[in-house]
Structures are given as C-alpha cells and as structure tokens.
Structure 1
C-alpha cells in the first residue's frame, strides 16, 4: 500500500505491480502530486521562456529580435497546459494502466500494516497490506511565526507557481532554490521583485560562486537583492489590499504579494504515525532501502525521509524501495546491500544532482568543498572560468560562468562538481556518472569532450588539476 500518489508513490506502485504484487494507492489531492501541479513542472514552464530569451539576447543576429517583453499571458497559458489545468485524468489513467487500485481520500496508518482511508464523503474503510506500507506523502512549505502573517494570505511555492496573474510588486523571502527561481521568473514576467535573504548569500547550500553569479544576474535584470535582513512582521491592508513587510529595525516595504520560500516540513502530521509508535509530524528515519528504522513493514520514501528533497532523487529512492519490498515479499535475500547495491540508495549520500533553473543555471552534484572538508576528505578544489571554453563563447557573447570539481587527493576520484552558467544543466549528468562510477582521474583523461562544446570544460579542469 502506498500513501501519496506523487511521482514517488507512483514509482513505488509501478515497481511493486511490475513484480506481480497487488498494489493500492491512496491520494487526498491530485494524482501526480506536488511536482506535477505546484513545483517542478509549472515552475520550469515559467522559467523556460526567461532562459530562452536571455540566451537569445546574447547571440548576434538574434538579439535585436527579442528585445521586447515576454508575453506573460502566453507564458501563463503554457504553464497551465503543463499542469493539465490542474486536472489529473491522465495520471489516473496511467495508474489504472499498471493495475494499481486508487483510493481517493485521506489515508492514515491504523496500526501495523493497516491504513484507514477517509473518503470525500466522510466514509472510512480500513485496508490491510500483506507485505508493506510506503509513506510517500512528501513535504509542505513552512511559514514562519510572524505577527500578522495569518491574515496576509502569503504565497508559498504553490501560489508562486500557479498564480493566474503577474503581481505588480513581489517580495520574496528566502534565498534558496524556490526563492531565486521564482524571483527570476516573476521579474522577467514584469513584477517589481525584492528578494530578502536572512543570510549573507543566495543558494547557501551550494558553492558560494553560484549564489554570487545568480545575485548578479538578478540585479542586472532589475530585481533588488538584499542579504543580511530578516522580516519581523507582515500585514495586508484590509485583508485584500497591499502587503506591508516590516524588517527587523523597522524598515517597511510595500508590495502586492509576498512569497515565503523559507523551508519545508514533512507531510506526516496527519498520517497516523502515533498508531505505530512514531512522532506525528516528524521526518521518517530510514535505512538505505528506505525501510523505517525499527520496522519490518513500513517504508518512508521521498521527501518524508529528509534525505534529498528532490523529485528525481525521490523517484530513485522509489525504485530502490520498490525492489526491496518485492524481494522481501518474495522471501528473496536482499542482495548487494552495501554501497551502490541493488537495494541501497547510496546516491542519497554521495551523488545527489540538482539543477537550479535560474539565469544563469546552476548544476551541482556530490559535495561542495566545505562539505568534503567537513567529512574529513583530503581534497583540492579545481576551478575554471567557463568563458574560456570555445563552446561557451560560441553559445553566447559575454558568456559568464564557472566550473569547480572537488578531487579526493587520496583516491584520485571526484567528490563533487558544480557548474554555473547558461545551459550548464545539461552538463551535470556527466559529472554524476563520474562521481557514481568513482572514475579515476587518469581514466577521465580518456573521456574526450567534443569540440566546440561547453563540455570541453572537463578537459580544462583536468589540465588545471595536472598543471
């Protein structure tokens, strides 16, 4: 049984059904989950025109043709198509197609292998799993405890990706991925954007140069980026009018909407964790097969286990967990249980890839320099200016970007790679393969990048490392 029919739950169900297990999926909202309707798909549909226009403006012969503003109405309509206008018929048909049973309603654990499903009309039925229950309910946006916030109707990531109109003035609180992506999108669509960041830089979990380049680009685009500031209160005039954001120190900023992109919490507060001895609202602690520690039947897959809050990583965990559930159900020993084994989500620790779809893009996988040093590795950071690669200069005039690889000096393998610059997202999988495969530096010399492409940066990084 699967609680939650987002991409993670869908993949657990698919793996179980493909192996012959009967599978039930419980969903209280839209089949397809956060990613399909309020996160990955709508946000990237909003950002794709922004990035395309930025690229075109740096190419002679094309730049003059794209000097006008974006057609916001067309961009929002295109976004709506990617969300299927917030209808899940297609995804329901897919689950039907694999033979999974779909239960509409709110599912709660009700003891060992039991799930009580409260339907839309308030009726409740109890389902009993033969083998396993997988909690795949994801995460939700966290709003800070601020005076006046409750009556302000603030935006979270959901409102930011689904708004039917462009706000005249938008304040974004938070400098993480959601904050910088939505600041990028809505500024390009015409909003007067102010980005407020408590810390001293954007994208604090990535290499510092990534946040610096994104901040520089946002500023050039006309956004106001302020670091080292915190919000002390929020108020909306009359409940429907302009919003006043008050900063610590008393400064007030007026806007039409305020987006809080200040973190995530697990959607486990109302899924019956107490009935199985777990703390409601907590992240689920799991082993590398995503089985909840202390249990032989309960799994926590995707955001709920707090290992890597990314759709693609959750789907990876779902493939691992699905295989483990099937093996245990069939009485087959768990094979290759060590790192990189069939039933071990090792990449959650060593090689989590992520692309930030700002302008410029950021692609990163593995450890940053600070993380590698904190983990006790003897490492060296190797940097290269992406503008020095022939493919980058052909891609766009005035190309700005940077690449860094983190080399484990004892083993001569890569521990992390970060790219920042236009179109670098498509470079990331090569870095992921190098880290997952623990490819020796000497062997990477024989992976010849095509000329003239941006991927030639690999050769330049290796040359820099060897001196």
Structure 2
C-alpha cells in the first residue's frame, strides 16, 4: 500500500472541503483532499448552481413582463431546451476539470476514491482505478462529506425510482407531470422551476410550505405557486407509491386519493454522508450526524473530544446549518483554527472570534429562489420568543416603498424585522418579494454587528430603491 503524510487530510472535495484545504495551505500547512465523485461537490453539480440556473431564465422573463415597454418586447414563451442547455454549461457538463485545475494551482493534492478513517490521524483511500493509499495527517483530519436526500419509509417508493434533488437538478427532459413530496426549500424551488418549464406540478406538503420561516412566507409562496398553475395540496401525505409499465407514477394518499405523475420528486430532508468514512474505527456510529464544538472538533456521545482533538467536521455533516455558504463559513473557521493550533497561535474563541462558528446559531442568511423570493437572516419571531427574548415585531408592506413601484408593476412583498427590546438591536429579518435576495446582506450585517437601532437611523438608504424599506421599518418602530 502506498502512503503519504500531510499536515491536514480532508475527506470530501465539495465547496466546504475545498475551502478548508485552501485555508490551511494559505496558513502555511500542507493539505490532501479525498473525493469519490466530482471535485466541487453537490452544490456545483446537483444543487445550488444548476437549480438556480433552472430558475433564473424564468425570473428574468417574469421581470420583463412586469414592466410596460419591456413587456411589449417579449414575443415568445420560455425556451425550456435553451434553459437546460444553459444549466449544462453552468455545471461544466458534469466534468470537474476546472475544479481540479484550481486545486493544483492552490497547492492542494487530490486523491480520487473513497476515504475512510482507519485509525487516529490516518485515512485509507480506495478507488476502482488506483491502488489503496494510506494518508497520515500530522495535525488534523476533516470530514466534509456533505449530505444526501432522505427517502421516507413509504411503501413502494424505492421501487418507483423517485427523483431526489439530484435528478431534479440534472434532468435532461421536462416531465409532463411532476409530483413533489415535501414543502421545504427544494420542494418549493423545484415546483417554481418545473412549472415555469412547462410541467403540470402537484406539491404534496404534509406539514405546509416553508414552515421554518415566518408564517406569511409559506402563505405568499403557496399563493404564487397556485397562480402559476401548481396544485398545492397541504396536509397531503403519501401512503404508497408505484410505477406501472408505461412509466406512470401512482401516489396513493393516506385519505385514499390517488395522484398520477410522470415523475415524483422526494424532497423531505437530508441524511449525512457518514455511512462509509470509517467512523466505527474511532468509536462513532456510521451514518450518524457528527456533533462538534464551536471550533468544529468532533465530539463523542459523552461530549468528549476524539483523541486529542485531531478530528473535525464541517458543513452538512455536523447538522448545524445545511447551507453551502454556511458550510464555507465553517470551513474558513476550521481552517484557521487548525493552523492556529498547529503553529501555537492563540485561538480566538470570543463570541465573534475568527476561530469559532457562532453565526450558525445567531445570524444564518438564506434565500429561497421561489417566485416571490424569500430572504431571511437570524431568528423568526417564534424562535426569538422561544429563546426567551423580549421582542417587538415590526412589519411593512414592500409595495408601499417608492422603489418597488419603479422595480415592477404590481409589485407585492412584505418585510419583517424582529427587535430584541432589551438591547434595541435586530435579531431577525425576513423579506418576501421580487429580487429581495439582493437586500439581505444589509440585514445580515446589522444582526452580526449588533448595530443599535439608534445607529441604524444614520444608515440612510438611497432613494428611490426598495432598500428604503429600512427607513420605513425604523419609522414604524419609532424613536
């Protein structure tokens, strides 16, 4: 068996693993990264990038049709084949040559194959086309293997060859009828995408739409989906699924009703990719989410470090926040802390210190690219109350802001800020409306920086922009 030694070994070359490796190399350490699929991971090929590519063309078309003058210039319908071709280009036709080239330029060594921890600080790499290699880490091993779609225990579902988020993102044809089981981000975004591409879409949402957001979010997205021709079935639960000889999928609901479709997408959650990374060799359960401290070191069931703290986990596998940008944030933190510990530098563990991932609990930004878009950061009103905060909720109609009138005819939207009354700072912010994603970072800065409301009065929004909602919210809150 071949062997090699590096300062840090990273299992998983998605955006999180890439950022960990890059950060430690920039800090003067050596790094190897192990990947069994494509370098760039889920986000690059089967999630963030392709799904947004499927959505972007129809968003642009919709925006044009909402503006007199531009509306008259639109002479045709959305070209689904052209959208799919652009999606293919965005994902480099599912080849990772560009990503591999970047790894080489960054000084990161790539090993293709399945990486499994074999003992403390050692990772065995096996692949179909290469001899097994044993990698030894002087300082740290990082698990950054991400997550996969969770399939529920529904009779016949597995045999019916359902789509997961991967198949939905990479489909080569648009199905005539698409049924979606779930009501979260993937479900609502893909309902938006495929309805725009021409599918007859049915959403079966047992628990409602986007239930982790403010209540008005799911209501507005459901209304918009229905206006787009989507059948949104709330409180609908699949009891069994089958696919017959001609390819038709039959979904029988718990109330006995049957829904027929050409494809069924299951989007109810995620499961960690930790089944085959050697967790059993170090006393952890294969297939389990990994518990970490705020510097992302893995803890055992008793809350103790693994060995002397050589094992880290970043991204989806630690279940803190299952978002690419948040995983990359964790990667920067874990890369910096590994370098600090390796070089004897003091670790900055202050609440907003460089080596701790505290934003995972306090200030997580997220955009749902439905129509309308949903942009949120921090706590919902319900979460803030549950955390014991004395809050005040301030709402404002985005359509009443001068900039929205210019942005689109018939603009509709809503903004909410959640204020911690004890400290007079914003702890939560939610926007629903066309193109609100670009407004989100201002709210993220306000929450992360704990900017007092008295100071925000001096952050003057430009007129006439939709950002003027900040002034209107402050006016509604009062001095």
Which TM-score tier does this pair reach, normalised by the shorter chain? Answer: over 0.9
SS of the residue corresponding to residue 110 of structure 1 reads strand
Give me the whole-angstrom Cα distance separating, in 2, the residues matched to 1:148 and 1:225: 23
Match of 2:215 in 1: 208
| Distance apart, 1:284 and its partner CA | 0.8
| Distance apart, 1:288 and its partner CA | 1.0
| Distance apart, 1:151 and its partner CA | 1.6
SS of the residue corresponding to residue 129 of structure 1 reads strand
Match of 2:78 in 1: 70
Among candidates 390, 399, 405, match of residue 393 of structure 1 = 405
Among candidates 282, 292, 302, match of residue 298 of structure 2 = 292
Give me the whole-angstrom Cα distance separating, in 1, the residues matched to 2:75 and 2:223: 20
Match of 1:424 in 2: 436
- Give the alignment's Cα RMSD to 1 decimal: 1.0
| Distance apart, 1:57 and its partner CA | 1.3
Give me the whole-angstrom Cα distance separating, in 2, the residues matched to 1:237 and 1:380: 54
| Distance apart, 1:317 and its partner CA | 0.3
Measured against aligned partners, the alpha-carbon deviations of 1:201-235 in whole angstroms (never above 9, x if no partner) come to 31001001111111111100111101011000110
Among candidates 166, 170, 178, match of residue 178 of structure 2 = 170
Large movers: runs of 4+ above 4 Å: none
Measured against aligned partners, the alpha-carbon deviations of 1:13-70 in whole angstroms (never above 9, x if no partner) come to 0011111111000000000000000000000000001211121111111123336321
Give me the whole-angstrom Cα distance separating, in 1, the residues matched to 2:448 and 2:74: 40
Match of 2:6 in 1: none
For structure 1, which segment, 326-335 or 175-184, has the greater mean C-alpha deviation from structure 2 after superposition?
Answer: 326-335
Structure 2, unpaired ranges of 5+: 1-8, 300-304
TM-score if structure 2 supplies the norm length? 0.96
- Correspondence 1:125 to 2:138: no
Match of 2:31 in 1: 23
- Report if aligned partners of 1:173, 1:196 keep a CA contact under 8 Å in 2: yes
For structure 1, which segment, 140-149 or 37-46, has the greater mean C-alpha deviation from structure 2 after superposition?
Answer: 140-149
- Report if aligned partners of 1:54, 1:359 keep a CA contact under 8 Å in 2: no
SS of the residue corresponding to residue 19 of structure 2 reads helix
Match of 2:259 in 1: 253
Among candidates 13, 16, 19, match of residue 5 of structure 1 = 13
- Report if aligned partners of 1:57, 1:67 keep a CA contact under 8 Å in 2: no
- Report matched runs for 1:94-173 at 5 Å: 94-121=102-129, 123-173=131-181
| Distance apart, 1:241 and its partner CA | 1.1
Give me the whole-angstrom Cα distance separating, in 1, the residues matched to 2:76 and 2:47: 28
Match of 1:234 in 2: 241
Match of 2:198 in 1: 190
Measured against aligned partners, the alpha-carbon deviations of 1:315-368 in whole angstroms (never above 9, x if no partner) come to 000000000000111122212x02100111111010000000111000000000
Give me the whole-angstrom Cα distance separating, in 2, the residues matched to 1:41 and 1:244: 31
| Distance apart, 1:123 and its partner CA | 3.3
Give me the whole-angstrom Cα distance separating, in 2, the residues matched to 1:427 and 1:10: 28
Give me the whole-angstrom Cα distance separating, in 2, the residues matched to 1:376 and 1:444: 24
SS of the residue corresponding to residue 292 of structure 2 reads coil
TM-score if structure 1 supplies the norm length? 0.98
| Distance apart, 1:122 and its partner CA | 6.6
- Report matched runs for 1:321-332 at 5 Å: 321-332=334-345
For structure 1, which segment, 185-194 or 245-254, has the greater mean C-alpha deviation from structure 2 after superposition?
Answer: 245-254
| Distance apart, 1:121 and its partner CA | 3.1
Match of 2:54 in 1: 46
Match of 2:302 in 1: none
Structure 1, unpaired ranges of 5+: none
Match of 1:319 in 2: 332
Match of 1:37 in 2: 45
Match of 1:274 in 2: 280
SS of the residue corresponding to residue 293 of structure 2 reads coil
Measured against aligned partners, the alpha-carbon deviations of 1:89-137 in whole angstroms (never above 9, x if no partner) come to 0000000111111000000111110101012237322111100000000
- Report if aligned partners of 1:51, 1:358 keep a CA contact under 8 Å in 2: no
| Higher strand residue share | 2
